[in-house]
Structure 1
């Protein structure tokens, strides 16, 4: 055997001893119950060294391990004394452990120098196999530590590979996300990578932090690692893929309003508005950018700044997008920015916001059901406090659209249309007349015996409001089946009291304003039920009996009514 071969075998033997010694020491450290903080620091250094030596073993490079073996033996001795509680004094042991931390730190730095000097071959880029999600935590931590080492000291290609493997591990399961957050150093490395001049590294880092931000438990760790500023810088000058990841991360972080000011302080609002007003940006970027601004608009000062920067016209234009998510985010933004502010609401209206929203309700358009739901809510919020806005809605054909979805809409859209119908009935006398002429009452009547209590309640409230108009009331009474159906429903309602029973009685009371209405109620087979309710001291029932018992209808009723 030649001298070169003997040297190689000796190096491999020493390397094996180092790796085995580190692994043994890490295992032993977990059984130590004293000086926890010191041993956590030592264990962290040991895990870094372990990753480096595994890389050395993979690459076949040579290195002098003698000083590290000496340090490992010294540390093993300290560990045994801590396990056995056989040390002479706490202060002395603390001092010895501090010295040990310094020695391991020195070894880590020296090995890092070896890497940066290019002594390791590209073989180090071959990453160790990733433990499955069912593996023990220590194996998973070791794998993540190995990736961290590569991210810290590898070349660009090696960093890219490590980032790609880290993303894949985290995307496959939350256990890896938790380990990344627990290790901590990785977050600071990732934040640093967001400012990397290498676009590939920046893009990979932005993807990973966006993934982490999807877990509520870990958002705070990203913020404490100082991520907001770097994310804004990516939005300003990063690649499209980097911007997408940064915007997605900010969208998740700004769900917590406490982070809104940090985004604003780093000029994030301007950067986001620039993206949203740039027609060349794709939907993958605009969607989360809209989402961030929608989250920020709840802060009054930021809202004012957005208005000054032209956000309203920007989002009215964005609402015309063919992308469903962009449409929804834009509509919700306009609704939120106008909430509680009459001047901004008027600005949204005068700049064409109503016309855009009404277009989504065209039955012939290919608009999604979700967009229609959001549009209906936004129109209610923007228009129903102003008669001028309601008139504008009616001029755009809104009444007919509303009736169409009340009749034909998918369940959620139909419920949204019913909510808006109920609210509109209480907001405008002119609208009530138009709704009566359009044919709303038969549709509302059908919904009075729906399975959903909320649907029944809204339909009853809306119908009660519509029949308060004389013209509508006469139209309703003309169909003999309508009053019979109301009385039948009143008979089916459980309990003596309740909102629905009261509303049904209210509708019947309105109908007694007409002679034909009083006659049809009095001659129905359900009159005894109304009398029972009156006997039970139901106020509206007593009022109804009084009305029916007046003048020529008195003879139709039982003789015990004396008021």
Structure 2
């Protein structure tokens, strides 16, 4: 006997016994539905129609299971529907068998019959739903399905999810909230449940609908669950397809603080994909978030993700322009000054993003005090974390360095002294970042080179020429080669005999732990432009290192030796002439 024959032979009695109690009748219908759902999976024709029918059967099955767990005196309305439901299910069973056996008389007639049965099932589902919304099912009579343990099979996980779905559909407020809490807990515990949630029909739609619930607790718990689902890239499209954007924005506008926080976190994840930006903007989301960010009552748990959503949207030019018109720049500069680090981080990143590649907005940020706010975070006199200082420093670099006028503003605000402090005394992470920024600053303008020379950068850069990291040694050497192009800086540099001695020593051909020889030689070439520099190089005991490199056909070294010898020859002629 084949599997399909086994299913057909398992059909329950077609007539309900007149003497049966309401509970036993309900149990028969539930078993009949279980058998019919199994049989429907064997149907290979009219697949789309049977998919819709099967969904209705599963909804009916869930609703009747919930009724079975109620007290008999409370579900009399459901029992009254049972004979009608049984008749429809019996009719559907016969259609399923005919589709499996391919024994129907014509396709058009069968399609019509399937449409009729689908409409009947839909009416039953809606009637059950109406009965349950009046509060028929109560917590004290509900059978609680135990949560599967870690590593449970997928079928057990699906069974548990369907039970939670039933409670969300037909339970009272307490039961719905408990089901949502359980749903949140299992996803936090085991992320495999996210896939099951998506696969079990109606859970996502139910969660989206709950976002518009007048019950604050239901709204809050739903926002928390959808925020978790939105954390998985492969399921963001499912949420978008379920129409989640508009309800989330309504929560932002009218929900509780916890609801708004969950909605904002969900939207922050969804808007990481710029394809969703227009949908968000079209529903008024930008205005809602800017209102949150300007409110004095909002807390960091909400403002942080709200900033994150807006930061995701600035890549869309039209939305960015709208934000600027609504005063977003001044709003976020104020948020940079707040005490909450999460808000500060998101605000700084927003300002960076909105100013990126746009000189007019960069100037707006500077005019409205954005750079001063960032410099305060970077200032060693104030007690901010190393993390926030690094983020502020990167923002200063990204916003100011592309513009000469912005560099002048930085120099006038004491930025060079702050930078030098961290190169001298900072933790390793911020010290390396400060060195990278100093290296880049050195290449921005002549004014910056002079300011760095006056502040005392050169002795500090010399120390890094012996660093373990090749990248650090190279940056220090290149930055020094830029600084000594300034006459005033050259004179300062050669005043210390050890500076030139170290440069020449590092040029030892056998020395592996050296900086970049190209930049070291470049520094020495610049120093030959002043008399004291030439003399100190020529009289150094390490001059032989340059000569060895020249003999090894290193072009820059040969040029340096020629220049030194030329100057020596001039000195000799000068001595002869004056003798």
For this structure pair, what is the TM-score category when the shorter chain's length is used for normalisation? 0.7 to 0.9
* 2:7 paired residue number: none
Conserved? CA contact 2:271–2:309, under 8 Å:
yes
Shift in Å at residue 322 of structure 1? 0.6
Aligned-partner Cα distance in 2 for 1:536–1:42: 86
Shift in Å at residue 253 of structure 1? 1.5
Map residues 134-145 of structure 1 onto 2, 5 A cutoff. 134-145=151-162
Q: Secondary structure at the match of 2:304?
A: helix
* 2:211 paired residue number: 194
Shift in Å at residue 453 of structure 1? 3.6
Q: Does 1:510 align with 2:510?
A: no
* 2:562 paired residue number: 546
Map residues 149-548 of structure 1 onto 2, 5 A cutoff. 149-183=166-200, 185-491=202-508, 500-524=516-540, 527=543, 529-531=545-547, 533-534=549-550, 537-548=553-564
C-alpha spacing 1:135/1:72, structure 2 compared with 1 (3 Å): farther
* 2:57 paired residue number: 46
Aligned-partner Cα distance in 1 for 2:99–2:538: 95
Name whichever of 182-191 and 20-29 sits farther off.
Answer: 20-29
Shift in Å at residue 249 of structure 1? 1.5
Name whichever of 183-192 and 254-263 sits farther off.
Answer: 183-192
Shift in Å at residue 110 of structure 1? 3.5
Name whichever of 281-290 and 106-115 sits farther off.
Answer: 106-115
Aligned-partner Cα distance in 2 for 1:31–1:507: 82
* Per-residue CA distance 1:235-281 (angstroms, 9 max, x = gap): 22222111111211221122122222222222222221111111111
Conserved? CA contact 1:170–1:176, under 8 Å:
yes
Aligned-partner Cα distance in 2 for 1:85–1:520: 103
Shift in Å at residue 137 of structure 1? 2.1
Conserved? CA contact 1:52–1:146, under 8 Å:
no
Conserved? CA contact 2:139–2:171, under 8 Å:
no
Conserved? CA contact 1:383–1:390, under 8 Å:
yes
Conserved? CA contact 1:493–1:501, under 8 Å:
no
Shift in Å at residue 326 of structure 1? 0.8
Q: Secondary structure at the match of 2:516?
A: helix
RMSD (Å), alpha carbons: 3.3
TM-score (norm 2): 0.84
Aligned-partner Cα distance in 1 for 2:19–2:524: 101
Aligned-partner Cα distance in 1 for 2:138–2:364: 64
Map residues 114-153 of structure 1 onto 2, 5 A cutoff. 114-123=131-140, 127-153=144-170
Q: Does 1:60 align with 2:71?
A: yes
Shift in Å at residue 327 of structure 1? 0.9
Name whichever of 111-120 and 397-406 sits farther off.
Answer: 111-120
> How many residues in Structure 1 have an aligned counterpart in Structure 2?
549
Aligned-partner Cα distance in 2 for 1:454–1:443: 16
Conserved? CA contact 1:444–1:460, under 8 Å:
yes
Aligned-partner Cα distance in 1 for 2:436–2:201: 49
Aligned-partner Cα distance in 1 for 2:116–2:490: 92
Name whichever of 233-242 and 23-32 sits farther off.
Answer: 23-32
C-alpha spacing 1:383/1:35, structure 2 compared with 1 (3 Å): same
C-alpha spacing 1:313/1:23, structure 2 compared with 1 (3 Å): same
C-alpha spacing 1:181/1:525, structure 2 compared with 1 (3 Å): farther
